[in-house]
Structure 1
Amino acid sequence: MVPEFGQMALIVALVLAGLQTVIPLVGVQARREWLMAYARPLATGQAVFLMASLLALTYAFVVDDFSVAYVAANSNSQLPTPYKVSAVWGAHEGSLLLWVTMLGWWGLAVAWFSRSLPLDMVARVLSIMGMVSVGFILFTVQTSNPFERHLPTAPMDGADLNPLLQDFGLIVHPPTLYMGYVGLSVVFAFALAALMGGRLDAAWARWSRPWTTAAWIFLTMGIALGSWWAYYELGWGGWWFWDPVENASLMPWLVATALMHSLAVTEKRGLFKSWTVLLAIFAFSLSLLGTFLVRSGVLTSVHAFASDPERGVFILALLGICVCGSLLLYAIKAPTVASVGRYEWVSRESFLLMNNLVLLVSAFAILLGTLYPLVIDFMGLGKLSVGAAWFNTMFVPLSVLLALIIGMGSMSRWKSDGLSRLGNELRWAFLAALVLAVAAPFIANGEWNWQVVMGLGVAFWLVAATLVDLWKKSRGRLKRIPTLGMSYMGMIIAHLGVAVSIIGVTMVSNYSLETSVKIAPGESAVLGNYRFEFAEFGHIEGPNFTSDATRFNVWRDEKLMEVLTAEKRRYNVSGQVMTEAAIDVSLLRDVYISMGEPLADGAWGMRLQVKPYMRWVWLGAIFMCIGGGLAVMDKRYRARQTRKVALSNEAVA
């Protein structure tokens, strides 16, 4: 009966989402506060019933209820319990239920953490979020019901979870990424609510910024976790492949980054109002596009969930309604809320606008490379593949330009500034970055490498310019730094995080060592100043797999550094074979061993890699998330917000 309870809870949540869409909006139009006040309890009720539905499905997995078709297709009695829980979102139906549940959580958060906002604004925001919930819950109930039964005969055991997903990374990566995707619906709702109410002002920007930043943090963390999982689980040692589904997560992240910076201008100067709303619409639209790509079957990817055309048509219709409806509202309302204010060509506003444009062009370049092959195929013009070379050619120069803009923009003044002043302030930072970047490749391996000079140059420039800005604003006194505010310190740490990631990407892309060898027990292979000694071959019995295992002694400069064990697992139920790489991790380099195929005379094909500064790619993402977290916790926004709303209410009275 638990699955039936879960399905009933999902249907109740759909009803509550429908009421949440209609009742508060009617209250706003009729100016009835008692109707607007229903927004919060309806959002709370929807979140509670969605959570109950998700817990019911989780229970079915944990107790091995194989009468539920989704459980039978994605679990097995031998599966360890943590993976039974993660199997809930291991395929299309369950991942969609997790998606809508998180949408309910975000609505609950808005309901209970926006107490100081005007009631009509909260009613509009939650009503719009209710509309989005109706679409996705209806999609779940109509085409993707995770509670369907195998009746009257149920299998004795399940087909097992995809071995790729039997990993800690897939326990945490999808929920984190979904929180980012779905969080953009809050930003979308705030933007449309502001348009509907004609309230595109500094207060609206201040209300929107914490929600935008929170969604961006989750999206950043989710992308980084996905990269980390691909690196160690897929066995090839890569961390980004420009896979269409990877691109689908990067595009809304780029636009959300632009949105955060645009909201800063709207809050500080009252400018870019219409542009900021448009970015909010684009960010959420791209998250919906990612959902369409993953679940429609239009592409093949290790990340893709479904290949049902009916589901694709439903999501495409939902995407069309959201995008076309919001753009229509924008076309009607945006001219009435135009920004008033002036700024010079050299000013912080200009640099932030350039920042926005570069990020948007980057997102468009990725969108073009992702969709163009699909369009060509759909039109019957043949098969076309857009590979990593094209994306790197488009994205890398734009990233360099963006880093240069960030460095100058952080030092610039609002309204008006001068290139001569910026040049005087930043000339030593530029020279220091240039000297260090030119010297770096010679220090690393004694050879000139223009790609390393370019990559490290922009990273060092970003670090130097950020530290100069911190020094100037603190007037060279460390005691003043805490008084600069959490939001400012968050910006500093996030920008340093970008620089750290650039350093990691540059070093690992240019100085990685890799070789594929045929090697038998007792033999050794040399890579750089590392020697890999094949010490032993054996077998490991896991809870639901057996594996061939190779133990290697890794020597550096003839000193034993580490003992690593790589595996080739065969899963008992599905019979699928997976590679489990052995990785020795340090801050300055990774040593990576993955097994290939068995060869004659007891030898194995092995892939050996040394990857310098690999951890810095993800360390930078951690810094970005910490910086975003500090910005969200800035008490100044909440205090100002409360005073602003209080004054507004007094004026109305």
Structure 2
Amino acid sequence: MSVEIGSLALCAALAVAIFGTIIPVVGVYRSDRRLVDAASPIAHLVFVLVLIAFATLIHAYVVSDFSVLNVVQNSHSEKPLLYKITGVWGNHEGSMLLWVFIITFFSSLIALFGGNLPERLKALILSTQASITTAFLLFILFTSNPFIRVNPPALQGRDLNPILQDIGLAIHPPLLYLGYVGFSVCFSFAIAALIDGRVDAAWARWVRPWTLVSWVFLTGGIMVGSYWAYYEMGWGGYWFWDPVENASLMPWLAGTALLHSAIVLEKRGALKIWTLFLAILTFSLSLMGTFLVRSGILTSVHSFAVDPARGRAILAILFFFIGAALVLFALRASSLKTGGLFRPISREGLLVFNNLFLTTATATVLIGTLYPLLLETLTGQKISVGAPFFNLTFGPLMVPLLLMVPFGPLMAWKRGDMLAVAERLSGAFVLAIIATLIVFYQTSLRSILASLGIGLAAFVFLGGLYDLWFKSGTKSTGFFVRLRRLGKLPRSNYGTALAHIGLGITLFGIVAVATFGQENILRIEAGQSANIAGKHVLLEGARNVNGSNYSETQFRFSVSEAGKDMGNVTAAKRFYPSQNMPTTESGIKNYGLSQLYIAPGDVNNNGLVVHIWWKPEVVCIWLGAVFMMIGGVFSLTDRRLRVGAPKRANTRSKRPEKGA
């Protein structure tokens, strides 16, 4: 397949996307049904054209077409097929094409499943989506074209960065981008609503499924990326407050606030302006995160000097969409009618409390991420903002938020009773206190903060269970009657409970690893051993193995406890000749929800330097994220979201239409 087909498809997609930006708006302005209806087929056509371009690039990687510069720079003929394919988005140009492919995919889905949307609103949404697509296509074609040829063709590729040749990186970027780009739909809904002047419960019902889908994918992307860094980098950690990690955390926090705000708007017609602002903010943070990671800014703030055209294009896109959206918001938000009133002690009030803490936490992460970059740009001074800053600012903001999580679902709308809800949660509170005291006793009264953390995790976890239990009946309801009613509860109730349960599980894993984890760094030779957490780790020996495009030295360890064999762990040091780069392949052994983690270091005549960790309950960190994702999927399958909001008559559509 000639790569020129891909270039032509992108050019055609750009032309059609420009039409898709203009024609629906003209149709809405002129009340021309034909132009309004053209928005959907245009969205489908752009998707097909970008799909052709994306498939062309994948084919070039699969067949190792070394006449294509992008393939030469990021592939190798001996690389496994899976990593040839994932190499497509393992670089800047290919990842931007994946970005455009996903946004056109979402646009096509809106056109396909948006039959219950008012025609004007749907046309404006698709027009906004097309404008974003247009900007990215211009960016790709003029600064990041993945189809550039090299003449003469190279004999061999330079290979993909070895640490990216992993199944985790095959899954992580697509999931992350589905989350990032999915929030573009929420952004487009907000822009369309501001232009059309309609924000109500029906609008919230339409936008909430897209918010949920994006949130679920972004949660999955962060989870997979965290676990990939945990086992692939050999550092033994799951989160480092690295700017790249923060770039995905910020839209997740804002998206979580948006999800809760949309619920208030749907149920009570309140928080209209705030929900619109969060929709704009979340996608703006997605844009910022995407380009911070892919532009090279995080590697060096002077990278624009290396490629000024790409840097200017990135800044232009950011300023245009974020600036234009905020200007429109400032001009139109005041004209929207305010929603219903509610007391501070109510479900709405607690959701507002949730939003305030989430957005404040987002601002904290944003400042800690961008401040070093801005300072270096303005003064040339380099500083590092790391875990101590984020732990001291982000952590305290999360504590009151987590304390209120179990109260929210049990609180009544409009006017609630905090004492009544507290009475319902008294059992969960007592059990959480017991868990706190047990941990406090087991740590020999040394770690009060860790004990309180475990107690808080238990309270959040049990709060999710209590939520379902009390929604199945009252005190006088029989046990078996409750069980039958549990099966009839709306799936969104299960979704909320599972998400909160997952939050408690993740918190438990974080506190358990921080409190009870152990590590040991030593130099050993074959036949020597080390002890950690009551386990005896013996280095049995080493052997050399050749892979498809690498060679490695594998180290085999046997593990025993109290004289009982607990299995073997294999870790390795790899070397990739094409990149002249070594990597560390950690050895991990699961013991229930805990893990023994071994990372080999330097090897010389004096033996092997080895770093051994005992990670108690560490799997809970990612297991909790899985529960959150399952909760989001449960909410998506709720009948109320599947049916959607009814299509309301629009008074403007009653006027005579041209071409009707």
TM score, norm. by length of structure 1: 0.96
Off by >4 Å, runs of 4+ in structure 1: 304-307, 646-653
How far the C-alpha of 1:510 sits from its partner, in A, is 1.5
How far the C-alpha of 1:648 sits from its partner, in A, is 6.0
**Distance (Å, rounded) in 2 between the aligned partners of 1:355 and 1:68:** 50
Residue 544 (structure 1) aligned with residue 546 (structure 2): no
Residue 613 (structure 1) aligned with residue 626 (structure 2): no
Equivalent position SS for 2:609: strand
Equivalent position SS for 1:484: coil
Q: Conserved in 2, the CA contact under 8 Å of 1:91 and 1:305?
A: no
- Cα deviations by residue, 1:507-536 (Å, 9 ceiling, x for unpaired): 111211111111100111111211111111
Alignment partner, residue 98 of structure 1: 98
Equivalent position SS for 1:407: coil
Matched residue type, 2:10: L
Alignment partner, residue 362 of structure 1: 361
Alignment partner, residue 225 of structure 1: 224
Aligned equivalent of 2:462, options 457, 461, 464: 464
Alignment partner, residue 447 of structure 2: 449
Distance 1:286 1:342, change over 3 A: same
Q: Conserved in 2, the CA contact under 8 Å of 1:99 and 1:178?
A: yes
Pairing of 1:559-570 with structure 2 (within 5 A):
559-570=564-575
**Distance (Å, rounded) in 2 between the aligned partners of 1:182 and 1:438:** 45
Equivalent position SS for 2:595: strand
Distance 1:233 1:426, change over 3 A: same
**Distance (Å, rounded) in 1 between the aligned partners of 2:546 and 2:63:** 24
Aligned equivalent of 2:603, options 598, 602, 619: 598
Pairing of 1:517-596 with structure 2 (within 5 A):
517-596=522-601
Equivalent position SS for 1:379: helix
How far the C-alpha of 1:651 sits from its partner, in A, is 9.8
More contact order relative to length (CA 8 Å, sep ≥ 6): 2
Q: Conserved in 2, the CA contact under 8 Å of 1:579 and 1:595?
A: yes
Alignment partner, residue 238 of structure 2: 239
Equivalent position SS for 2:557: strand
Distance 1:209 1:597, change over 3 A: same
Distance 1:418 1:113, change over 3 A: same
Q: Conserved in 1, the CA contact under 8 Å of 2:116 and 2:644?
A: no
Equivalent position SS for 1:414: coil
**Distance (Å, rounded) in 2 between the aligned partners of 1:312 and 1:181:** 20
Moved more, 167-176 or 427-436: 427-436
Aligned equivalent of 1:498, options 494, 503, 507: 503
Equivalent position SS for 1:483: coil
How far the C-alpha of 1:652 sits from its partner, in A, is 5.2
Q: Percent identity?
A: 42
Q: Conserved in 1, the CA contact under 8 Å of 2:468 and 2:493?
A: no
**Distance (Å, rounded) in 2 between the aligned partners of 1:634 and 1:650:** 32
Q: Conserved in 1, the CA contact under 8 Å of 2:79 and 2:548?
A: yes
Matched residue type, 1:609: W
Equivalent position SS for 1:161: coil
**Distance (Å, rounded) in 2 between the aligned partners of 1:3 and 1:293:** 29
**Distance (Å, rounded) in 1 between the aligned partners of 2:58 and 2:291:** 25
Distance 1:306 1:244, change over 3 A: farther
Equivalent pairs counted in the alignment come to 646
**Distance (Å, rounded) in 2 between the aligned partners of 1:84 and 1:68:** 14
**Distance (Å, rounded) in 1 between the aligned partners of 2:643 and 2:98:** 34
Alignment partner, residue 658 of structure 2: none
- Cα deviations by residue, 1:311-335 (Å, 9 ceiling, x for unpaired): 2221111111111111111111111
Matched residue type, 2:557: F
**Distance (Å, rounded) in 1 between the aligned partners of 2:526 and 2:417:** 67
How far the C-alpha of 1:423 sits from its partner, in A, is 2.9
How far the C-alpha of 1:292 sits from its partner, in A, is 2.5
**Distance (Å, rounded) in 2 between the aligned partners of 1:460 and 1:80:** 44
**Distance (Å, rounded) in 1 between the aligned partners of 2:541 and 2:304:** 39
How far the C-alpha of 1:483 sits from its partner, in A, is 2.0
How far the C-alpha of 1:647 sits from its partner, in A, is 6.1
**Distance (Å, rounded) in 2 between the aligned partners of 1:563 and 1:432:** 38
How far the C-alpha of 1:422 sits from its partner, in A, is 2.6
How far the C-alpha of 1:307 sits from its partner, in A, is 6.5
Q: Conserved in 2, the CA contact under 8 Å of 1:69 and 1:148?
A: yes
Moved more, 252-261 or 567-576: 567-576
Q: Conserved in 2, the CA contact under 8 Å of 1:497 and 1:623?
A: yes
**Distance (Å, rounded) in 2 between the aligned partners of 1:344 and 1:652:** 39
**Distance (Å, rounded) in 2 between the aligned partners of 1:586 and 1:305:** 48
Alignment partner, residue 145 of structure 2: 145
Q: Conserved in 1, the CA contact under 8 Å of 2:92 and 2:295?
A: no
**Distance (Å, rounded) in 1 between the aligned partners of 2:71 and 2:513:** 41
**Distance (Å, rounded) in 2 between the aligned partners of 1:637 and 1:355:** 23
Equivalent position SS for 1:597: strand
**Distance (Å, rounded) in 2 between the aligned partners of 1:322 and 1:96:** 17
Q: Conserved in 2, the CA contact under 8 Å of 1:373 and 1:384?
A: yes
How far the C-alpha of 1:406 sits from its partner, in A, is 1.2
Q: Conserved in 2, the CA contact under 8 Å of 1:233 and 1:580?
A: yes
Q: Conserved in 1, the CA contact under 8 Å of 2:461 and 2:502?
A: no
Residue 622 (structure 1) aligned with residue 633 (structure 2): no
Q: Conserved in 2, the CA contact under 8 Å of 1:587 and 1:616?
A: no
**Distance (Å, rounded) in 1 between the aligned partners of 2:107 and 2:644:** 23
How far the C-alpha of 1:372 sits from its partner, in A, is 0.7
Equivalent position SS for 1:645: coil
**Distance (Å, rounded) in 2 between the aligned partners of 1:557 and 1:575:** 43
Q: Conserved in 1, the CA contact under 8 Å of 2:304 and 2:310?
A: no
- Structure 1 residues not aligned, in runs of 5+: none
How far the C-alpha of 1:197 sits from its partner, in A, is 0.9
Matched residue type, 1:575: N
Q: Conserved in 1, the CA contact under 8 Å of 2:411 and 2:418?
A: no
How far the C-alpha of 1:379 sits from its partner, in A, is 1.3
Pairing of 1:36-435 with structure 2 (within 5 A):
36-151=36-151, 153-300=152-299, 308-380=307-379, 382-435=381-434
How far the C-alpha of 1:446 sits from its partner, in A, is 4.1
Q: Conserved in 1, the CA contact under 8 Å of 2:571 and 2:600?
A: yes
**Distance (Å, rounded) in 1 between the aligned partners of 2:653 and 2:451:** 58
Aligned equivalent of 2:472, options 471, 474, 491: 474
RMSD: 1.8
How far the C-alpha of 1:600 sits from its partner, in A, is 2.1
Distance 1:156 1:262, change over 3 A: same
Matched residue type, 2:400: L
How far the C-alpha of 1:425 sits from its partner, in A, is 2.3
**Distance (Å, rounded) in 1 between the aligned partners of 2:315 and 2:500:** 36
